[in-house]
A and B are shown apart, each in its own frame.
Chain A
């Protein structure tokens, strides 16, 4: 994770960002600390911190920086030049941490865990708005795993982790209308137990959740119906208010990169 020391909305690269609606800095820091506290203290997760740097306000959304797999880190090729400045920061950090850092050809965009999520042994790759479909072949080769690209069709859900959240080997949360009909079919075939969320829940970023065994960390504001559905599956919910990060189009999952 990366503390939100320099977090701000400095540009608009998704429909949630408006430079006129700046996050409240003190509140953002409080919310981030609450998430960090929940993960480290309550759920006993080991969290490594990345030092915040000025000039890269979105560095706080570490999930987009790449995809870690064992001691290998596949660095992102950000689509927007504003975020490309994060690439050398991440690359240096992971090299120093002793990771083997791999990069993809520059012509292909790839936004890390933001668009690539493991569903059992299969990596699901969201493409169109940020990542390119063509990277799936290289990812499959590097990871020696099945990689299924699915197309995203709703700009509000520009990353796969904003509309799809694997909760375990058989269960996942999703907002079906963020995918085209082919993508929906692929996910229906892949995931035996898909929990569809309503549009209202989806826009509160409930799919931007961190699954840790039977625990699920998700942004606050989910509907009672969703909580009931998850409760039936014996999933323990941990809600965190992340309203200040929603102003940049991110929530719980975006703030954490899984190592």
Chain B
């Protein structure tokens, strides 16, 4: 959805300029809101109107505005962005524009240009020669970079309401454990098929509970059948997945019998040690040491994964990126092209991913704890829809709905 406020003044009623403006907007499939209308009392008094025009796309809006310019309607708030140079590495100018995760455009040298790599809580870096703009995380700013300051010349487009009621509209964003899940999951499966057909990527963010609850094999099936294009997780998920592949346990609990196994408590450390010995998870797969599980599926299906570390990690595994800034960058690399993100039983990584996703990415957060789902929304990932559910039953139902 794109919108712009325009104003027109003069003898616009007797000259039928106003009805013509309204007709032209409708002829070009736009809609309007009359924000203000003052009608001249005498023939020589001018009338004035302020209109908000909404169009489905920015291109359509541009077309409408071009037609209306001919009739004397001028867009309000037509200023270029103000740019300032960063004085230090890693520090924005004090008045920098802080981004949202919504589609954003800047007006530079009289032209509206889209901001690339939309991400919340960033600055906007502009190349003054080409006019190209992109979101820039604070740690990446270099001294001398041109950064957008103030709000003038920045246009944020609210998300368009889907025309057909899809699952995202159907579910709304309210978090509740009292929703008919089977039906929701079936509609989600449908949406995933649509994504795949459209060539958009599906991103999975998973916490270790996926393995603890025994739903690892379902996720593995999703990966093997091509429904996952990238996996973000931490040391925990990979460790317990490998532990279960090597020892059949997760945190020492047998996944078959549901009972703690003898000396099970050290299985996860032995698993980490074995992988560290081989150098990497990939090497373990190549050598035939790791023969099943989520990580095995990722390696053999060549699905990229990013394992971000944290202070409570055991080990960690060789692929775990312990520098959090490097981990964020590694995650960012996989964001372009993502159309849907599914977050499973993960708080830390779900929020980290939510932070770097544009609002146009359909996001589903599944957790047994409603607080996790609300937390994600409260931190700005408002496009996410929540499902309070155990991951095992969610993934079981999802694989069934996808006929896997």
Contacts and interface: CB of A to CB of B under 8 A. Distances in A.
A150 B72 contact: no
B10 A140 contact: yes
Contact of B14 (A144, A145, A186): A186
A148 B15 contact: yes
Contacts of A140: 10-11, 44, 46
B181 interface: no
Contacts of B20: 151, 182
Given A132-B72, A182-B16, A145 B44 contact: yes
A148 B12 CA distance: 8
Q: How large is the interface on B (under 10, 10 to 19, 20 to 34, 35 or more residues)?
A: 10 to 19
Interface residues of A, number: 23
B74 interface: yes
Given A145-B44, A146-B43, A137 B10 contact: yes
Interface in A191-207: none
Interface in A141-172: 141, 144-151
Contacts of B9: 137
Contacts of B11: 136-137, 140, 146-149
A185 interface: yes
A243 B180 CA distance: 83
Interface in B26-74: 43-44, 46, 70-72, 74
Contact of B72 (A134, A183, A186): A134
A53 interface: no
A86 B234 CA distance: 75
Secondary structure of the A contact surface, majority rule? mixed
A10 interface: no
Given A137-B10, A137-B46, A140-B46, A150 B15 contact: yes
Contacts of A182: 15-17, 19-20
Contacts of A148: 11, 14-15
B190 to A, nearest CB: 47
Contacts of A189: 14
A128 interface: yes
11 contacts: A128-B70, A133-B70, A133-B71, A134-B74, A137-B11, A137-B46, A145-B44, A146-B43, A147-B11, A151-B20, A182-B20
Interface of B: 9-11, 14-17, 19-20, 43-44, 46, 70-72, 74
